[in-house]
Amino acid sequence: MRSLVLAVLLCALPSMLNAACFLAGFPGETKCQDAADQTWHAVGSTWRTSDCLRCTCRLDAGLKVEMRCCHAYLNNIRIPDDCVSKFDKKTCQHIVHKKDDPSTNCPILEASGK
């Protein structure tokens, strides 16, 4: 049984490392405040910030308000050498194209997150 638990934890570890998430607590509050936009959000709500984070306001086990935010985009991308990547904050996506021809898109070969 101990080996099974260890195996499950080891399998989950890579996805947790790439998740790029964080928690923020709000003692004494009944809502969560988005630090980037200074907006308040009700418990149970989910939104995307102007910094391309996907956040959820929730109650923790002790019934205190907390906000969990994760990157809402791919990071650590690997692209072909003859291509360049530009991050579009409006769509929260990488736009990848040929260095010498911006009209020709390139594939993202490898990425983590989202």
Per the listing, tokens 């907006």 go with 39
pTM over 0.95: no
CATH entry 2.20.25.590 includes domain 74-113: yes
Taking only the tens place, the pLDDT of each residue in 37-61 is 899 999 999 999 988 999 999 998 8
Give the DSSP per-residue string, 2-44.
HHHHHHHHHHHHHHHHHS-EEEEE-TT-SEEE-TTT--EEETT
In which band, very low, low, confident or very high, does the pLDDT at 15 lie, cut at 50, 70 and 90? very low
CATH fold of 15-71, please?
Complement Module; domain 1 (2.10.70)
What are the extents of the domains in the chain?
15-71, 74-113
Helix, strand or coil, per DSSP, at residue 50? coil
